[in-house]
């Protein structure tokens, strides 16, 4: 799993959060001010950001807005401010949760679990599974037996068209029209044949063939439909 970034200037509290999250199996990274957070945030993807509102070099909610503009990472604000206006400001900044100090660590852990569980479920909903393939068309990731395949842009386009049209015979002309992009980059029949052959070789195995040739007509996807 991606690590959790904890931005909290209270070193004892920061260490305590890391300790409890580590016990739950999460990886954690600490930052004690906004400057440090800004330097490490772009270095990798984060599962969650736990962000103190009162930091020595700035307002945590303002920095939360910066994070939200850069990423969809979930944010939990920690603060001693318990006024409704402060909470509203935090949620308007993109918070997924807002926890006031002092708090029960066990309750915080449950909130962390809940947020990460929702994120995991949302991530899984984006995936299209068919046979031994797992495809994330939005992020251009294709896995076969849990191993990432390297596909060319043309192969991705072909795979997308096949998965959208299971059981339908896609003629070579239809596929050629789909591969003709907005910049009018032309794909000829020879190139189409080569790309389909390469795509087949990458996704098929002894159990799954996926792409069936309909001689004289075109090709047919014999897997599931991608909605």
pTM: 0.59
pLDDT higher than 80, residue 108: yes
141 compared with 223, residue with greater pLDDT:
141
Residue 168 and residue 171: Cα distance in Å, rounded?
Answer: 9
pLDDT higher than 70, residue 7: yes
* Residue-averaged pLDDT of the chain: 88
pLDDT tens readout for residues 18-69: 999 999 999 999 999 999 999 999 989 899 999 999 999 999 999 999 999 8
Determine whether domain 4-125 maps to CATH 1.10.150.120.
Answer: no
125 compared with 35, residue with greater pLDDT:
35
Long-range CB contacts for residues 137-146, cutoff 8 Å, separation at least 24: 137/163, 137/226, 142/203, 144/202, 144/203, 144/205
pLDDT higher than 70, residue 172: yes
Q: Where are the domains of the chain?
A: 4-125, 128-221
pLDDT tens readout for residues 194-224: 999 999 999 988 888 899 999 988 999 987 5
pLDDT higher than 90, residue 84: no
The reply to whether omega before 102 is within 30° of 0 (cis) is yes
Instruction: Please give the CATH topology (third level) of the domain spanning 128-221.
Output: Arc Repressor Mutant, subunit A (1.10.10)
72: phi then psi, degrees, rounded to nearest 5: -100, 10
């Amino acid at each position: 799993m991606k690590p959790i970034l904890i931005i909290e200037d209270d070193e004892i509290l920061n260490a305590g959060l890391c300790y409890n999250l580590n016990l739950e199996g999460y990886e954690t990274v600490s930052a004690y001010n906004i400057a440090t957070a800004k330097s490490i945030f772009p270095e990798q993807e984060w599962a969650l950001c736990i962000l103190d509102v009162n930091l020595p070099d700035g307002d945590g909610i303002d920095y939360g807005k910066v994070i939200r503009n850069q990423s969809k990472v979930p944010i939990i604000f920690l603060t001693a401010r318990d006024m409704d206006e402060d909470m509203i400001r935090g949620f308007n900044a993109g918070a997924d949760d807002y926890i006031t100090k002092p708090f029960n660590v066990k309750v915080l852990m449950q909130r962390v679990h809940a947020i990460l569980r929702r994120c995991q479920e949302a991530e899984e909903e984006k995936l299209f599974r068919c046979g031994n393939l797992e495809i994330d068309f939005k992020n251009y990731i294709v896995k076969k037996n849990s191993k990432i395949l390297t596909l060319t842009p043309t192969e991705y386009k072909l795979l997308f068209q096949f998965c959208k049209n299971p059981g339908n015979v896609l003629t070579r002309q239809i596929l050629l029209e789909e591969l003709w992009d907005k910049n009018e980059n032309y794909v000829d029949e020879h190139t189409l044949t080569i790309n389909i052959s390469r795509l087949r070789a990458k996704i098929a195995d002894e159990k799954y063939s996926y792409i069936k040739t309909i001689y004289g007509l075109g090709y047919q996807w014999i897997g599931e439909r991608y909605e």
